[in-house]
Structure 1
């Protein structure tokens, strides 16, 4: 048996394969380009070559269409759910609930096409944590040296400004007048009083020393033995009186200098002032009012409270606010030391206050830090 093999030249083979290669290269590209521009903007494509209509607001998708031209199967959102835009989602969004415990009430009920609208109660304003999360915070009260520029509303906190004849220095309102002139007047007055006191002290010391020296010279000579006569006893008493006078004069001058330089040089705007001690409980509750619950744990961790201490506080106090109070109290007691002890009366001193404000700013809560500074007069 003989087998015959047909011979084909390379040129003929190339001519035969060219159409096949071109078809493989261009057909997928043409198909992809046609898919991108098939569906109009109001439709969506569940699969290649098929365009389906989106569901209207207030509806959700149950079943997609099977071919272009058919309609998607959409049904209304269930009760207490909504959808506020065209969609092809299979679930509607849950309506918000206005909560009494969060100091809010309902001003617009939830519908199939819109969410519930809540508003903060009187005396509270809306503080936005992020784009969708907020909490109602108590409106700020203007201090005695300030007045309301804008009253507190459900959307904005109170805005305060200095009263007439007051100006703001280091976030505090001070009586009007040039601070440099006030400083100069205090300095001149202090120097005048100081000069008068020093003059009186020098005159008294000179008088007593001269009197003692004169009496001692009259009663005692180098060749005479020391006696214990009444006159000598009187000189000794004068000497003791002079010594006591020197001691108390020195004490008085020290006290005078310290109070004088403190009153003259601690003027507003001239150097930093150490924050005054505040009662711990008042400060902690203010922090809890200003910082959201999820952020309190982050704050206490930055302040050095250990996770075991946080867990223990949560076990000991079921109420979230009291647990958070205990966490901040652990930090404050640790920093205050034995000198700050005392039930309910711990004093939180300058370094701890500065640490708290610094950590709040690290957490991007600069507004809370500023409000604490305004409330407690921290400069």
Structure 2
């Protein structure tokens, strides 16, 4: 009996001890909670955060003591309450991308850029965008809405013209689009039916002719391509490569004696280059393809191999919170530097693409190099 009483008393004491032990474990964690606007330092003391426009110089050391904050230096900002030792670097609007400053950088907010006059913004992803030249209304067109920094020009056809396949053509036939310009003779009651039948017959003949032209063109193109492939396979590959390289090197050499006009459309100028030379290599297209092919953890290694400095890598990470946007900026730094200020309006030089493929192969990313070579015709 005495043993039972002793055992029951011991169990009660054991429960009390367990409760006390749990209180000792959880009470410090509860007391370490800090109010809004404060943070716990490495000693568990609640310190105040710095307001926007300031950075942390020295954190508090005792309860009730305040942290030391200082203003961000020139050309740096901080747009949120923080306990960071460094402010963020202000963004620079780049004239090469047709950007101008809309709002200068301040201690509490970053620089805001906009497209220059005559250009409008086209979003790529998140905060990334391109400034493209505003469209000029063509012949037989008039301006319906002027170009703005965020919207392109809107054009419409002039009077007695209507749009067919993006081109304004005169209203010569009594079609649905321009029948209000036509006047039918009233003396012949059968004229509308004869006229409709004539239009239907002409339309059918044109359709048959288009199908026939398409079939002939497709057959001829297929035969010509097959003939070229057979011919190229019978010739030494080194000779073809040397020819392509000579043509590309000549096209990249600047000329001091000749002024060359740039056509308004790439389709207006026929190409005299062989099939092995790509007509254009747009920097954004190459960068997007690299970001899709190269693993995220290997992008920074790749840009270092391509000659991008660590300071430029850190700047890209500070300017862009998204990892993909930061990687895009790192690759763009490499492309701009090697292409002499943007590669003639955003075009990448062919030897830089070859350099990129070589570095990918060294990093054992041969599949990515192979896809780039296939897309741009470089083996």
Q: Sort the TM-score into its range (normalised by shorter chain).
A: 0.3 to 0.5
Give the structure-1-normalised TM-score.
0.48
For the pair shown, the structure with the greater C-alpha radius of gyration is 1
Structure scoring higher RCO (CA < 8 A, sep ≥ 6) equals 1
TM-score by length of 2: 0.48
